[in-house]
Every structure is written in structure tokens, then in C-alpha cells.
Structure 1
Amino acid sequence: MILCSGESLIDMVPEGGTFRPLAGGAVYNTAIALGRLDAPTAYLWPISRDPFGEVLLRPLTEAGVDIGLCPRSDRLTTLALVTLTDGDAVYSFYDEGSAGRMLSPADIPTLPDRIEAIFTGGISLVPDPCGAAVEALIERNHARLPIMIDPNIRPFFIANPKAFRARLHRILPQADIVKLSTDDLEWLHPGIDPEDAARKVLALGPKIVLQTGGASGARAFWSGETVSAPAIRTTVADTIGAGDTFNAGVLASLRNQGVLNKDGITEITGEQLLAALTLGAQAAAITVSRPGANPPWADEMPT
């Protein structure tokens, strides 16, 4: 079972001159996508008892995601106001004192034996105490469980870039897989070619660094030759949840191939990486073809 730990929130998406509330959040979206792809999935993040909390729980339950590790909170749900520019999503967050924001390291439980891998990242890495809580989850479990991190960097959300860079420098070496967009790499290593920037991250210690670039497809940097997979051509409604769904496709593929474990990732082949990138791209293409973060179900995927 893959444990996803990170933000859940309500995306206020523009629709007909007003805003429609939709369940979202980078790590939450990945959990939903994994569940819909029939990968055994669990979720760890506080869920508010406010009405938006119920909105968040419903898709998790429908996707078969295990929510037994989710604490309930009387604090409010995080809101993200979404605006679209040429189909690309731009966010403004309302997060101070929210249910997720106030997760602390003391709230992180001992993980049950059924957990076989961890996925985390997103804006939950940025503020404290929740950023420290995610860091504690990684620190306590990286020696025995494979960790995948997608920082999903939102510069406007980062009040203290120096502190955030320091956190990334601590946690990225503990990850087995790191996924970064071209924009993420530019933030981490300004002015450096994305491939060189990805290799700088690889040198920190991860076994695999995945670089995504929208229409330019995805690449995997590892100990072997670079593996590339093209993007799948489709009509784009918007890009909300695209990278999150890509992450789910990669994880589901690795699990299906039996390599989502410490030994499997260490001994992975180029063919296995290509299969993972391809499934990620296929899943993401379906998500971007329809409005909002609406990942595909297993029966919608190409056979």
C-alpha cells in the first residue's frame, strides 16, 4: 500500500464568472489518482470537520483510499483560489491556522506494516508545523521504505526561500525518487540547463530524478542512460492536477512491475523506467483533457 501524505484543500475554480469548489491539493490528487488506478493507497493528512472536509472525504472513499490514518480537526480547510491564464492554473492560498497547516511532528503515527512506500511533497513542505511533520515522516521511515517526493514548488507561497531550500537539502537526499518540473528546476538552480539541474539533484543521493516539461514530455535521470517519454497529444482543458496524476501513474507502474521497494528501485532497468514514465504520461493526458483535477479510472486507461 502506498501512503500519500500532504495537503488536501478546496480549489475554488473559475466557472461562469464565479467560482466552483472542487476537492484538490497536490498530494491529495495523487492519492485519488492512485486509488482510481487500482493501486492500494492510504492517505495521511488532517481533515477538517467543516463542510469542506466532507467534500474532501467523498472522492477518497469513492477511489478506495484508506483514510484510517487521517486525524479529524475542528480547524478550517485550506482554500486555494484558482485563476487560469491560457489554460495554466495560478493559485492564491488561504491557509493560516488551517487543519493541515497545524499538523505537527508529534501527530505523525508509527506506520502500519501494510505501508510499502511513501509519496509526499507539495506546499505541505513549506510552512511549519506541517512542513516539520512531513520532514519527520520522511526521516523516520526512509531507511526501510522507498520515498518519492514532488516539491511542486510554488514560489509565491514560500515566505522564507532560504529555510525552504535548507529543508529540501535535508530531505531530497533521503528520497529514492524525486520529481521536478522544469519550473521547479529553474527555482532550485536558476539559469542552469534543466538536464544539468536535474543531475545536480541526482548527485544529492536519490536513485531517480524525474523531470517533467508539459508538452515536452518526461525524462528520468538515474545511473544509466537518460530515459525519455513523449507527452501524449490531447486537447487541453486545463493543467490542474496534471503533475499529480503523472506521479500516480509512475508509482502505480512501479508497483505493478514489482519494483516499488528499496531493492527494486536500486536495480531498476531502463525499460521499467520507460514503462513508468509512459503510464504517468497517459494518465496525465486524460486529466488535462477535462476541467479540474479529475484523474482517470483504471478502465479509462489505454490497454
Structure 2
Amino acid sequence: MILCAGESLIDMVPQDGAFRPLAGGSVYNTAIALGRLGEPTAYLWPISRDPFGEVLLRPLAEAGVNTDLCPRTDRLTTLALVTLTGGEARYSFYDEGSAGRMLAPADLPVLPGEIQALFAGGISLVPDPCGAAIEALVERDGARLPVMLDPNIRPFFITDADAYRARLSRLIARADIVKLSGDDLEWLHPDLPPEDAARRVLARGPRLVLQTGGAAGARAHWAGETVAAPAIRTAVADTIGAGDTFNAGVLASLRRQGVLSKAGLAAITADQIAAALTLGAQAAAVTVSRPGANPPWSHEMPALSP
């Protein structure tokens, strides 16, 4: 079972002069996508007892995601108020003292034995105490479990860039797989071209650094020659949740190929990496073909081979 640990929230999206509440969050989206692909998946993040908590739980249940590790709390759900300026989305977060924000290292549960991999990332890595909690989880369990990290860097959410860079540096050194977009790489290493920046991240310790570029496809940097996979051509409705779904496809493929373990990743081959990138791209292509973060179900995938 793959454990996804990180933020869920409610996006308040403008619609007809009002706001429509939609379940979201980078790590939450990946958990939903994994469940819809038929992967055994668990989720870890505090869920409020307020009405929005039920909005978050329903898609998880429908996707078959196990939420036994999610603590319930009377603190309120994080809200992200979305405003559109010239077609560009801007976010205002109502997050202070919220259910997820207040997750502390002392709140972390002991992970059950069936957890075989850990996925973490998103804005849950930024503020404390929740950022410290996710870092503590990776520190505690990353020695035995393979860890995939997608920081999904949002500069507008970062108030102390130096502290966040230091946290990311520690997490990257612990991670086995790191996924970074072109924007992520530019924020981490503004003085380097994307390929060189990805190699710099690889040198910190991960087995794989996955570099995504939308229509440019994805590349994997590892001990061997760079592996590339093209994006799947499709009519794009929007790109919300595309990277989150890509992560799910990669993890699903690695698990199906039997290499989602410390030993498996140490002995991974170029063909196995290519298969993982391809499934990630196939899943992401379905998501971008329809509005919002709406990952594919297994029956909507062109193939469910590794």
C-alpha cells in the first residue's frame, strides 16, 4: 500500500458571481489518482469534522483510499480562495490554525506493516507545525520505505525562502524519487539550465529525479543515460492536477513492476523507468483533457500494463 501524506483543502472557485467549493490539494489529488487507478492507497492528513471535511472524505472513499490514519479534528478545513485576474489564478489561503496546518510531529501515527512506500510534498511542506511533521515522517520511516517527493513549489506561499530551501535540501537527501517541474527547478537553481539543475538535485542522493515539462514530456535523471518519454497528445481543457496524476501513474507503474522498494529502485533499469514515465504521461493526459483535478479511473486508461 502506498501512503500519501500531505495537504487537502477546499478550493473556492469563482462561478457565476459566487464561489464553488471543490476538493483539492496536491497530495490529496495524487491519493485520489492512485486509488482510481486501482492501487492500494492510504492517506494521512487531519480531516475536519466541519462540512468541508465530508466534501474531502467522499472522493477518497469513492476511490477506495484508506483513511484510517487521518485524525479527525474540530479545527476548520483550509480554504483557498481563487480569484482570476486576466485569466491567471491567484490564491488567498485561510489556513491559520486549520486542521491540516496544526498537524504536529507528536501527532504522527505508527505506520502499519502493509505500507510499502511513502509519497509526500505540496504546500504541506512549507508552514509549521505541519511541515515539520511531514519532515519528521520522512526522517522516521524513510530509512525502510522508499520515498517519493514532489515539492510542487508555490513561491507565493513561502514566507521564509531560506528556511524552506534548507528543509527541501534535507528532504531531497532522504528521498528516493524526486519529481520537479521546470518552475521548481528554476526556483531551486535559478542560475542553472533545467537539465543541470536536475543533475544537481540528483547529486544530493535520490535514485531518480523526474523532470516534467508539460507538452515537452518527462525526463528521468538517474545513474544511467537520461530516459525520456513524450507527452501524450490530447485536447487540453486545463492542466489542474496534471502533475499530481503523473506522480500517481509513476508510482503505480513502479509498484506493478515490483521495483517500488529500496532494493528495487537500486537495481532499476532504463526500460522500467521508461514504463513508469509512460504510464504517468498516459494518466496525466486524461486529467488535462477535462476540467479540474479529475484523474482517470482504471477503465479510462488506454492500457494498464506497467
Q: Percent identity?
A: 78
Residues in 2 aligned to 1:88 and 1:262: alpha-carbon distance in whole angstroms: 41
Conservation of the 8 A alpha-carbon contact between 1:2 and 1:41 = yes
Conservation of the 8 A alpha-carbon contact between 1:135 and 1:171 = yes
Residues in 2 aligned to 1:191 and 1:148: alpha-carbon distance in whole angstroms: 25
Conservation of the 8 A alpha-carbon contact between 1:88 and 1:239 = no
Cα deviations by residue, 1:221-256 (Å, 9 ceiling, x for unpaired): 000110111111112111111100000000001001
Equivalent in the alignment of 2:244: 244
C-alpha deviation, 1:13, in angstroms: 2.2
Q: 3-state DSSP class of the match of 1:228? A: strand
Q: Which stretch shifts more, 181-190 or 18-27?
A: 18-27
Asked if residue 54 in structure 1 is aligned to residue 45 in structure 2, the reply is no
Residues in 1 aligned to 2:254 and 2:169: alpha-carbon distance in whole angstroms: 26
Conservation of the 8 A alpha-carbon contact between 1:5 and 1:118 = yes
Residues in 2 aligned to 1:82 and 1:242: alpha-carbon distance in whole angstroms: 18
Cα deviations by residue, 1:136-157 (Å, 9 ceiling, x for unpaired): 0000011100000000000000
Q: 3-state DSSP class of the match of 1:11? A: strand
Equivalent in the alignment of 1:104: 104
Residues in 1 aligned to 2:111 and 2:85: alpha-carbon distance in whole angstroms: 41
Equivalent in the alignment of 1:36: 36
C-alpha deviation, 1:88, in angstroms: 6.5
Structure 1 pair 202–84 and aligned structure 2 pair: CA distance change class (3 A): farther
Q: Which stretch shifts more, 78-87 or 97-106?
A: 78-87
Equivalent in the alignment of 1:206: 206
User: 1:1-303 maps to which residues of 2 (within 5 A)?
Assistant: 1-83=1-83, 89-303=89-303
Cα deviations by residue, 1:239-280 (Å, 9 ceiling, x for unpaired): 111100000000001001110001111111111111111111
Structure 1 pair 92–125 and aligned structure 2 pair: CA distance change class (3 A): same
Q: 3-state DSSP class of the match of 1:7? A: coil
Which residue identity is paired with 1:163?
A: A
Structure 1 pair 230–112 and aligned structure 2 pair: CA distance change class (3 A): same
Structure 1 pair 173–21 and aligned structure 2 pair: CA distance change class (3 A): same
Conservation of the 8 A alpha-carbon contact between 1:89 and 1:240 = no
Q: Which stretch shifts more, 14-23 or 225-234?
A: 14-23
Structure 1 pair 258–86 and aligned structure 2 pair: CA distance change class (3 A): farther
Cα deviations by residue, 1:127-179 (Å, 9 ceiling, x for unpaired): 00000000000000111000000000000000000000010111111000000
Cα deviations by residue, 1:262-299 (Å, 9 ceiling, x for unpaired): 11111111111111111111111111111111100000
Q: 3-state DSSP class of the match of 1:187? A: helix
Residues in 2 aligned to 1:246 and 1:87: alpha-carbon distance in whole angstroms: 24
Q: 3-state DSSP class of the match of 1:296? A: coil
Residues in 1 aligned to 2:86 and 2:243: alpha-carbon distance in whole angstroms: 17
Residues in 2 aligned to 1:183 and 1:197: alpha-carbon distance in whole angstroms: 11
Alignment TM-score, normalising by the size of structure 1: 0.97
Q: Which stretch shifts more, 80-89 or 122-131?
A: 80-89
Structure 1: segments with no counterpart, 5+ residues: none
Q: 3-state DSSP class of the match of 2:228? A: strand
C-alpha deviation, 1:71, in angstroms: 0.2
Kindly tell me the number of residue pairs found equivalent between the two proteins. 303
Alignment TM-score, normalising by the size of structure 2: 0.96
Conservation of the 8 A alpha-carbon contact between 1:87 and 1:239 = no
Q: 3-state DSSP class of the match of 1:76? A: coil
Residues in 1 aligned to 2:282 and 2:84: alpha-carbon distance in whole angstroms: 23
Residues in 1 aligned to 2:127 and 2:37: alpha-carbon distance in whole angstroms: 31
Q: Which stretch shifts more, 66-75 or 84-93?
A: 84-93
Structure 1 pair 90–248 and aligned structure 2 pair: CA distance change class (3 A): farther
C-alpha deviation, 1:89, in angstroms: 4.8
RMSD of equivalent CA atoms: 1.3
Which residue identity is paired with 1:146?
A: P
C-alpha deviation, 1:82, in angstroms: 2.9
Q: 3-state DSSP class of the match of 2:13? A: strand
Structure 1 pair 301–89 and aligned structure 2 pair: CA distance change class (3 A): farther
C-alpha deviation, 1:14, in angstroms: 2.9
